[in-house]
Structure 1
Amino acid sequence: MGGDLLLTGGEVLDPAGRSGRLDVAVHGGRIAAVGPDLPRDGAREVLDVRGRLVTPGLIDLHTHVHPGATYWGIDPDAVAWYSGVTTWVDAGSAGAYTLEGLRRAVRTMTVRVPVLLNIAAVGLTGRTGESRDLDTCDVDLAIATVAANRDLVAGIKVRVDRETVGRHGTEPLRRGLRVAEACGVPLMAHIGAGPPSVDEVLDLLRPGDLVTHCASAIAAGPAVLRPSLLEAYRRGVRFDIGHGSGGFAFDVLEAQLAAGLTPFSVSSDLHARSLYGPVFDLPTTMAKLLAAGLPLAEVVAAATSRPAAALGLPGGSLAAGAPADLAVAGPRRAVHRRRRAPAAADRPGTAGQRGDVRGRAAAAPRLPADPPPWVPLTPAQRSALAARADGLRALLSTPIVGPDDLAEQFPRGTPAEKRG
């Protein structure tokens, strides 16, 4: 079988298709075939991925990827190549005033970046408070912005907590819902410390809307399984993890799981303050759901096929003809102060070997940028970042091979004009 790339011997897990020990062939930026022992003849590149998990490219439903223009933004490409996340949904970094700037930034990125438009036209330029001035929550302007940017905007984002909305309560959310209804797109609501209360927020959400930070102890307060939560779940409101710097707690998640409230999607809320911990990346967040007892297939679906369906995105499947976005993964355990460890049976593959494929070839490595000066870091985090920089410097300053592994490119006697 000819083609651009053939992945052989991996443990394929496709929530929307075939699973098992299968090969995956890629041609022309699309999945060409999935099956056992596919012919290698004609493949331009063959990657042996035995002992590793092969899934559709991961879709992170809640990220912030507008570096240099917002308080929270990061460069996704520096994380995507090793984390397997090929689609980064930017959740509210840009509003109507700033969307064009985000569009220009997205053009420079190798990953796919759908956008949830912030109801506040200023977006997330600052740390918080974007909806305190209701003049920026302009419904007509937001509707016009979505209509003019259908190729980029997949939904609406509203942060609803006391710092963001101030004295306006649920009014920014109500305006966001009017935009979402008019444009036929879902809304993602961020919950946090009230007022307004979580009950007030959940009661307004429609089937198909998303509540992010669903396992937040800050938002839950003492009433982890409040009636409004159960009713919203039964009504079809989709629960999104949205880990972030303080949006996830094991005990809240475990209480919800015990009550049958399984998260619809697992997202990282990766941004400038969570990149260096406690989030690190989406696979680390996925590992926490494994540690809480969710089956591997459920966790993979929550980061592939389900977010694709929620926003109508391409990808999320390894079916023939689907976009050639794939993740190749090994296990990774992670903590968020409180620790959980998955059972050995939930740790497929070989630790420390992860990456992704987009289009026709494996993604190229990228070095991450230094954290911006406003990000609060512990002494241990600063020390670890310095050690990482020293390690990279040592790695890159050491020749990749020794003299015995080189070939003489210009043997003596070669005419000078042919030596370059």
Structure 2
Amino acid sequence: MSYDLLLTGAEQGDVAVRDGLIAAVGPGLPRDARQVVDVSGRLVAPGLIDLHTHVGPGYWSIDPDPIAWFSGVTTWVDAGSAGAYTWGGLRRVATESAVRVPALLNISAVGLAGRTGENRDLANCDTALAIDTIQANRDLFHGIKVRIDAEVVGVNGVEPLRRGLAAAEACKVPVMVHIGAAPPAVDEVLDLLRPGDIVTHCASGIASPLGPAVRSAAERGVLLDLGHGSGGFAFDVLEAQLDAGLRPHTVSTDLHARSVFGPVFDLPTTMAKLLAVGVPLADVLTAVTKNPADALGLPGGTLTVGAPADLAIFEVRAEQFSVTDAHRQTRTSPIRLVNEATYVGGRLLSPRLPAPPAPWVPLTRAQHAALTRRERHIRDLLATPLVDVDGLAEQFPRTKPRSS
């Protein structure tokens, strides 16, 4: 029986794909495949699942496909870009993207159309409307997102979270809550969460969740998610949590229009930040594959037979790799993960160029200069003929003239 794709030489054995699913895993599989790819010496992982991204419409949005093909991220969970008024735009993104885009519905019906403030008007936090939206779009929405910090909620405190929890309870889905600057106090937020709910920005240098409330939350089954973002991750907070026996259950980027140019860049770079503080590679991989899949009940996250053939192939470079948090603290990872191929449903993702930054994205002079250099390098690369004469064949040979 033939396969569509066969990866040979992986540590797990050969990996065979048929009809978009993993068909077999093991040593010495038959070489009866339309395409055979030798991955000896490479890390073959399930396609990475980023539990916190922003690819839906609005201020924070980015296009996932131009980043997915070189990062290994095959599932991009949109974390609250869309609310009940704006979910149609997110549906179009999910339909048109090459990657998988499950989502969390923002409890605020306006979603993240702007930078902040979506929960200041409680009329937008309509529990019944959120329930109806999820029930009508079960294939798209797998949970509720609520942002709780002083800028977002104004005088409303944790009331938007209470409404989000009520909607989630009715729909039997988890809540992901963003934590940031008080008020309300982070302990007040954590104390409301249920087993299976998710607190993102769990190592925030602004919220600094280091007291007994975060331990109590973790012990009762609340899931800690890194959610790096532009301001949601600090090395010193993560190191203090690790010293206290707390570790992020999931590692996500909060990749969006402001963080994609730094300090986040992509998920493999974020993974290196966990490696830099001593978390083993196997545990980091679990935190970007199986754990996020389990958290939201998503397909994928494993290389078992019958799972989607979402695959990420990496070179593991044994080199010092300097990484930076949201507050310009640096650490050094002992290895660097460099993606070599990304497959979604057994299909290899093609290279695509990312769009330039939106005009409202704040960038440093160094970031602007780096983007200009990158554009010049790309232009030079594409403007140079692909091969010289020795790399060409005569596609339409001349016919010899007939002799008279």
User: Same fold by TM (over 0.5)?
Assistant: yes
Match of 1:38 in 2: 29
Match of 1:7 in 2: 7
Tell me, in whole angstroms, the C-alpha distance in 1 between the residues paired with 2:314 and 2:368: 28
Is contact 1:156–1:180 with CA below 8 Å preserved after alignment? Answer: yes
Q: What whole-Å deviation, never above 9, does each CA across 1:282-310 have from its counterpart, x for those lacking one?
A: 11111111111111111001000011011
Tell me, in whole angstroms, the C-alpha distance in 2 between the residues paired with 1:411 and 1:293: 61
**Residue among 392, 396, 406 paired with 2:382:** 396
Tell me, in whole angstroms, the C-alpha distance in 2 between the residues paired with 1:360 and 1:266: 24
Tell me, in whole angstroms, the C-alpha distance in 2 between the residues paired with 1:394 and 1:97: 44
Tell me, in whole angstroms, the C-alpha distance in 1 between the residues paired with 2:156 and 2:45: 43
Match of 2:238 in 1: 253
Partner SS state of residue 260, structure 2: coil
Match of 2:110 in 1: 122
Q: TM-score, normalised by structure 2?
A: 0.95
Query: Structure 1 vs Structure 2: percent identity of aligned residues?
Result: 66
Match of 1:57 in 2: 47
Match of 1:408 in 2: 394
Is contact 1:6–1:26 with CA below 8 Å preserved after alignment? Answer: yes
Match of 2:348 in 1: 362
Partner SS state of residue 393, structure 1: helix
Tell me, in whole angstroms, the C-alpha distance in 2 between the residues paired with 1:379 and 1:372: 16
Q: What whole-Å deviation, never above 9, does each CA across 1:10-29 have from its counterpart, x for those lacking one?
A: 33xxxxxxxx4x22111110
Match of 2:91 in 1: 103
Unaligned runs of 5+ in 2: none
Q: What whole-Å deviation, never above 9, does each CA across 1:169-223 have from its counterpart, x for those lacking one?
A: 0000000000000000000000000100100100000000000000001011xxx
Tell me, in whole angstroms, the C-alpha distance in 2 between the residues paired with 1:33 and 1:83: 25
Q: What whole-Å deviation, never above 9, does each CA across 1:117-164 have from its counterpart, x for those lacking one?
A: 000000000000000000000011111101100010000000000000
Whichever residue aligns with residue 10 of structure 1, its letter is: A
Is contact 1:4–1:361 with CA below 8 Å preserved after alignment? Answer: no
Partner SS state of residue 37, structure 2: strand
Residue 51 of structure 1 and its aligned partner are, at CA, apart by 2.1
Match of 1:152 in 2: 140
Match of 1:340 in 2: 331
Tell me, in whole angstroms, the C-alpha distance in 2 between the residues paired with 1:353 and 1:297: 17
Residue 225 of structure 1 and its aligned partner are, at CA, apart by 2.2
Tell me, in whole angstroms, the C-alpha distance in 1 between the residues paired with 2:81 and 2:34: 40
Match of 1:163 in 2: 151
Q: What whole-Å deviation, never above 9, does each CA across 1:262-296 have from its counterpart, x for those lacking one?
A: 11100000000000000000111111111111111
Match of 1:93 in 2: 81
Tell me, in whole angstroms, the C-alpha distance in 2 between the residues paired with 1:383 and 1:414: 56
Tell me, in whole angstroms, the C-alpha distance in 2 between the residues paired with 1:49 and 1:378: 39
Q: Does 1:285 align with 2:270?
A: yes
- 1:262-411 pair list within 5 angstroms: 262-331=247-316, 333=321, 334-336=323-325, 337-343=328-334, 347=335, 352-411=338-397
Whichever residue aligns with residue 2 of structure 1, its letter is: S
Distance change (3 Å), C-alpha of 1:414 and 1:146: farther
Partner SS state of residue 206, structure 2: helix
Distance change (3 Å), C-alpha of 1:46 and 1:414: farther
Q: TM-score, normalised by structure 1?
A: 0.91
> CA RMSD of the aligned region, Å?
1.5
Whichever residue aligns with residue 380 of structure 1, its letter is: A
Is contact 1:117–1:153 with CA below 8 Å preserved after alignment? Answer: yes
Residue 363 of structure 1 and its aligned partner are, at CA, apart by 1.0
Match of 1:418 in 2: none
Partner SS state of residue 179, structure 1: helix
Partner SS state of residue 189, structure 2: helix
Partner SS state of residue 361, structure 2: coil
Which is worse superposed, 291-300 or 46-55?
46-55
Unaligned runs of 5+ in 1: 12-19, 416-420
Distance change (3 Å), C-alpha of 1:171 and 1:380: same
Is contact 1:54–1:328 with CA below 8 Å preserved after alignment? Answer: yes
Is contact 1:5–1:361 with CA below 8 Å preserved after alignment? Answer: no
Distance change (3 Å), C-alpha of 1:87 and 1:414: farther
Match of 1:48 in 2: 38
Match of 1:16 in 2: none
Tell me, in whole angstroms, the C-alpha distance in 2 between the residues paired with 1:117 and 1:282: 22
Is contact 1:5–1:46 with CA below 8 Å preserved after alignment? Answer: yes
Whichever residue aligns with residue 271 of structure 1, its letter is: H
Partner SS state of residue 395, structure 1: helix
Is contact 1:7–1:47 with CA below 8 Å preserved after alignment? Answer: yes
Residue 341 of structure 1 and its aligned partner are, at CA, apart by 1.9
Residue 403 of structure 1 and its aligned partner are, at CA, apart by 1.4
Tell me, in whole angstroms, the C-alpha distance in 2 between the residues paired with 1:248 and 1:355: 28
Partner SS state of residue 340, structure 1: strand
**Residue among 214, 220, 232 paired with 2:202:** 214
Matched residue count: 395
Tell me, in whole angstroms, the C-alpha distance in 2 between the residues paired with 1:35 and 1:399: 42
Is contact 2:193–2:222 with CA below 8 Å preserved after alignment? Answer: yes
Is contact 2:148–2:180 with CA below 8 Å preserved after alignment? Answer: yes
